[in-house]
Structure 1
Amino acid sequence: MFTCPSWSGLCRRGTDKDAAAGDQQAVEIVWTHEKEPGVGSPPQDETTGFYKALWSFEARDDEEVSFQKDEVLRVTRSSGGWWTAEKIVDGARKVCGFVPHNYLARSNTIDAQPWFFGQLNRFEAQNQLSAAGDESGVFLVRRSDKDAKGYVLSVGAVAAVKHFKIFQSVDGELYVNPGHRFQSLEELVEHYKHHPLPSTGLLTKPCARRRPNTQDLSHHTVDEWELPKSQFALEEQLGGGYFADVYRGRWKGMVNVAVKILKNDSLDHREFQLETQILKKLRHRHLISLLAVCTDAHPFYIITELMEKGNLLRFLQGQEGKSMGLSSLVEMAVEVADGMAYLESQKSIHRDLAARNVLVGEDNICKVADFGLARFVKEPFYLSESKTIPFKWTAPEAISHGRFSSKSDVWSFGVLLYEIYTYGKCPYPGYSNNQVFPLITTGYRMPAPPTCPADIYQIMLVCWSACPEERPDFSELITLLENTTRYDEWRPEGCTDAARPQEGASVAEKRGADVTH
């Protein structure tokens, strides 16, 4: 039986005086650039209090609370991905239970503004705004991915996205143009709804925010994620391969999921559980979320979030993929590198990075899949069936000596770039799988694809450095990719970015600039 914590014991910010103090504190956090929470993330200090629902949510069991967008909830306890909250209707408490924290933002703070998107890089902002079509003036405000204390105003224009750095003066005033300064982001946004920005015109409406996935199927599955197969209904098959078949599925008739049914019936049950327990803790916006496993009997099931557009390889080969421009291809590459940079930071190795193991979802967001599965699911098959070893994607030191590392993943990422810029063509065309390893050990590297920009090809080549230590890491790859294309960034006269490499600089020069600055 779920018991809601005491209203008076845990919720102390109910008075007008307390609320006013909370608002003032939030303003101070925003403008002094203290590290503040992103959209839907736990505040740094007191986490109980009033919150606004950014999206609607339907409860998945009796201990969870349903709510509608813009409803007010009072959080009484915050821990992990599921918080305890009381739903407030007409000032009175109605129901109490668990709610997903990433659906909420503290009331009367910048996080609750419909145009504030938290921390995003410019490629992600481009992706979000592109989903709105060519409508001019659609906008969002984001925290800079490179400078977590700074803000950027991103605005959709005809066939382009413009990014305006929001500067802060020594006395805390905010401005895009030094001639117009404001005390808050709200004032700045309101001003440009009535006064045009250079080359974009007026701000019209906030960009629509993507509804996030909950981190788990429900609050019950946070720790109890070994679930019976009977809870999952299989629908149409989405794909299949040497190691698994993948189906669209439904959990308890409520949540869409992907169900991967492994074909290897000799997997060790305990090893499988230990490995997946580690994988479940890896959470990132560009990694597929592992939601549950079913190991009560063979074949084992792996349950993940569902990505509606399938794997990146098939997407690129399809009509929608073939219509994507070069800037959109860079966005996809950056998102894959972002997910891999997180894996790298967690000392986790993918071992089988390729377009077939990247999934595409709503608004063409890309997420890395199958990370961590290669060692104990795929390698036994690879070793027994040598013709199926993915030589074309595998670094030479991994083939010859079994030396897998983040640097061998970087080699594979270079091949994935080739797949992206050829719209899904097989690498090393004209060569069989078994011909590739002796070929690359003699120094051969694939030529640039016909429509591939020169700086992208230079990134491929540095990924294919024979010496692993000479390959960049994934965080560096993100910077190199971002520097290959620039959206128009309007800056006031006299404001410069000394750290930005000059146009036409080589990859080596850009790497030097990134390290120096």
Structure 2
Amino acid sequence: MKFYNREAKEIRYKGLDQNDNAEISSRVINEEINYKDFEENFEINGELLKVDKKLGHGYFGNVSEGKLQMEAERDVSLAVAVKTAKDDNKEKYEEKKELLLKEILVMCAIAKQKHANVLAIIGAVTVDPAAVSIVMEIAHTDLQTYLEHHKGFTNRFVPVDRNDATSDEENRKTNTYRKEEYVVNNDLNTLDTFELVLFAYQIANGMKHLASIPCVHRDLKLRNVLITKNKTIRIGDFGLARKHKDRNYYTETKGIIPIHAAPETKENYKFTEKSDVWSFGLCLYDLFTLGTKKLSELSESAEDFSTKHKRLTEPQHCRSDLFEFIELCWEFNPVHRPNFITAVYIFKCELGRFSDHTFNEIEAKLKLELEEQKKLEDWVPKKKLYD
């Protein structure tokens, strides 16, 4: 089944347009909203939070492992991730603290509609200006690190026929997967072609949810995609994410624009679902090369990359027509890029190439993950969101 119209440079699907009925509370959409609107629902007593070892750091601050105590039962605790603003320079610290507060706001805004493939916020500490922090569910690691350190990979492509062997046989692959019953497992020690496609599906699924809010992530890359101990994907790091009124675009008058961002974001500061799709294409290429290329971390302009990508070789663990879809994500004109509804459909079909029944198992697992996310609300006593 061929999904792509290379001549028209676009994907034509009936019934795959963005869902215009997707809503979020008008109070969240209101541009004047601030954290006070969420305080009673998300503010955590800092005395209940213990910050332990640092897990990582970035431009905006540090992420550490921590323990959150249950207010009613202090001997019961939950492992959490804690993000804090850090900088020795007072002026820069204030700037990063403001960015952290914006990130808290975005995460609170999307908390009304939790999603198994989006990292969930548990709460935040904001009353102490010197210790502003976001408390989130904890993941195993980021997807880039997971791929870099994983040892052993099982190729699920049908072997090349010996009768068709050529001198470069080692670099050749068929365009067909082994058709068998695949088991969706939680074992972080295993990795194969099926799971790469499953990861891609979940990234698309999480981004589709954000686009429906509407919310633009603006910094999608494998280091900002997390993998849990149950081997489920979560879109994370909302430091540059913004909610917006206009379903078509969010405009940034000034601020930080990642080097790997889509070309139109540098020209007119417009961030859209389609600019996130550009970054999604970079993620996919990195994913199907097992994290070895790191396209989303290259320090080159989008214009240079737009020319260069035409010379990129097809990833070893990616089918040819799926690579065509990845290339569509890099169309210079955002109108010609697919949306995330289309991306979800593409990877759902791709999963069907492995097994006829596995997808139901995947959806059942994601449903259970969502139920576990909802239980996190019990750790911060609060009133109902949006009466």
**What's the TM-score once normalised by structure 2's chain length?**
0.60
Q: Residue 422 of structure 1 aligns with which residue?
A: 289
One of 203, 208, 215 as aligned partner of 1:341? 208
Cα distance in 2 between the residues matched to 1:235 and 1:436: 38
Residue 487 of structure 1 deviates from its aligned partner by 2.9
One of 404, 410, 413 as aligned partner of 2:271? 404
Q: Residue 254 of structure 1 aligns with which residue?
A: 77
1:331 counterpart letter in structure 2: L
- In the alignment, structure 1 residue 231 sits paired with structure 2 residue 24: no
Residue 227 of structure 1 deviates from its aligned partner by 1.6
Is the partner of 1:334 in helix, strand or coil? helix
Distance verdict in 2 for CA 1:273–1:432, change over 3 Å: closer
Distance verdict in 2 for CA 1:454–1:270, change over 3 Å: closer
Residue 320 of structure 1 deviates from its aligned partner by 5.2
Of all paired residues, the percent bearing the same amino acid is 28
Q: How does 1:468-483 map to 2 (within 5 A)?
A: 468-483=334-349
Cα distance in 2 between the residues matched to 1:370 and 1:455: 31
Q: CA RMSD in A?
A: 3.1
Q: Residue 283 of structure 1 aligns with which residue?
A: 114
2:322 counterpart letter in structure 1: I
Q: Which has the higher contact order (CA 8 A, sep 6+)?
A: 2
Is the partner of 2:203 in helix, strand or coil? helix
Identify the structure with the greater helix proportion.
2
Q: 2:43·2:125 contact (CA, 8 Å) conserved in 1?
A: yes
Q: Residue 314 of structure 2 aligns with which residue?
A: 448
Distance verdict in 2 for CA 1:324–1:275, change over 3 Å: closer
Identify the structure with the greater strand proportion.
1
Q: Residue 141 of structure 2 aligns with which residue?
A: 310
Q: 2:103·2:239 contact (CA, 8 Å) conserved in 1?
A: no
Q: How does 1:84-99 map to 2 (within 5 A)?
A: none
Cα distance in 1 between the residues matched to 2:65 and 2:79: 7
Cα distance in 1 between the residues matched to 2:109 and 2:64: 24
Residue 310 of structure 1 deviates from its aligned partner by 0.7
Q: How does 1:180-259 map to 2 (within 5 A)?
A: 223-252=40-69, 253-259=76-82
Distance verdict in 2 for CA 1:229–1:412, change over 3 Å: same
Residue 223 of structure 1 deviates from its aligned partner by 4.2
- In the alignment, structure 1 residue 437 sits paired with structure 2 residue 266: no
Q: Residue 59 of structure 1 aligns with which residue?
A: none
Distance verdict in 2 for CA 1:339–1:432, change over 3 Å: closer
Distance verdict in 2 for CA 1:467–1:363, change over 3 Å: same
Residue 283 of structure 1 deviates from its aligned partner by 0.9
Q: Residue 125 of structure 2 aligns with which residue?
A: 294
Gaps of 5+ in 1: 1-145, 147-220, 491-517
Which has the larger displacement, 439-448 or 362-371? 439-448
Cα distance in 2 between the residues matched to 1:270 and 1:311: 23
Cα distance in 1 between the residues matched to 2:103 and 2:148: 33
Q: How does 1:107-118 map to 2 (within 5 A)?
A: none
Cα distance in 2 between the residues matched to 1:350 and 1:271: 13
Cα distance in 1 between the residues matched to 2:232 and 2:285: 19
Residue 282 of structure 1 deviates from its aligned partner by 3.9
Q: 2:107·2:120 contact (CA, 8 Å) conserved in 1?
A: no
Per-residue displacement from partner, 1:205-225 (whole Å, max 9, x unpaired)?
xxxxxxxxxxxxxxxx99432
Gaps of 5+ in 2: 1-15, 17-37, 70-75, 87-92, 154-189, 244-250, 358-387
Q: 1:226·1:295 contact (CA, 8 Å) conserved in 2?
A: yes
**What's the TM-score once normalised by structure 1's chain length?**
0.46
Residue 461 of structure 1 deviates from its aligned partner by 0.5
Q: Residue 25 of structure 2 aligns with which residue?
A: none
Is the partner of 1:285 in helix, strand or coil? coil
Cα distance in 2 between the residues matched to 1:273 and 1:305: 14
1:242 counterpart letter in structure 2: Y
Residue 432 of structure 1 deviates from its aligned partner by 5.5
Cα distance in 2 between the residues matched to 1:271 and 1:488: 43
Q: 1:234·1:249 contact (CA, 8 Å) conserved in 2?
A: yes
Q: 1:257·1:304 contact (CA, 8 Å) conserved in 2?
A: yes
